[in-house]
Structure 1
């Protein structure tokens, strides 16, 4: 059975896309730990990060760096935290979370934002990404 991320990749579920290439997709997390929280995923459905083929794993990492720089510009945060927990969805995904301190990386802080807020964040990150 396809994961929720595979359904997003296949266009079966909507998302606030940030970046896409032949191997990866990135989009805003539906529950934002902090505004600008992005997920970077491989298009190949792989449960554990250590099972991701090296070429795809490297691409996720490369794109995460590029997107994190755009998040930093778009949000004005001093840091972009990275987390790979692997519990929520059985499909490898990297969380990029803008933050000022470690306590701001707590997933208990996650909240749904309005579509207008999500679109505004998406637009700012994409503009910063395209500016580079």
Structure 2
């Protein structure tokens, strides 16, 4: 597997504005932020999908994300801190922690054409756990 940009950053091949590091997780400022204090939190082990992480790594990643979000909230004073996992930009699982200084920073409801007649079918597929 080719090293992701995050793996190269962890290895020190590319500079970053690191905000956290331990044996399992790394966090840094996003260099193309949605707002001041936008942080990326990711496991050191390169895994493409967040849901494919080992449960212990996943839990630790979420614990670290919570700690950083609390620090962002307390030190930068946004209205709240949003968390997004979309994963299209880099094939390395990561969480975006985005300080929301106003309600327009993250707009999740963007007019997706919903077919409400599909709700029952979709819910039954997801509910079949």
TM-score where L is the length of structure 2? 0.79
Name the structure where helix makes up a greater proportion of residues: 1
Give CA-to-partner distance per residue, 1:69-102, whole Å, 9 cap, x none. Answer: 1111221112000000010000000000000444
TM-score normalised by structure 1 residue count: 0.77
Three-state SS of the structure 1 residue aligned to 2:105 is helix
Q: Distance in 1 between matches of 2:19 and 2:91?
A: 21
Instruction: Provide the rounded CA distance (Å) in 2 between the counterparts of 1:63 and 1:11.
Output: 21
Residue by residue, what CA displacement relative to the aligned partner does 1:38-91 show, whole Å, maximum 9, x if unpaired? 000000000011101111111110000000011112211120000000100000
Q: Which protein has greater RCO, CA pairs closer than 8 Å, 6+ apart? A: 1
Q: What's the RMSD between the two structures over aligned residues? A: 1.0
Structure 1 residue 103: Cα displacement: 2.2
Identify the residue that residue 84 of structure 2 maps to in structure 1.
Answer: 83
Q: Measure, in 1, the Cα distance between the counterparts of 2:55 and 2:8.
A: 23
Give distance in 2, aligned partners of 1:101 and 1:59. 29
Distance in 2 of aligned mates of 1:33 and 1:49: 21
Aligned length: 106
If you compute each CA radius of gyration, which structure gives the higher value, 1 or 2?
A: 2
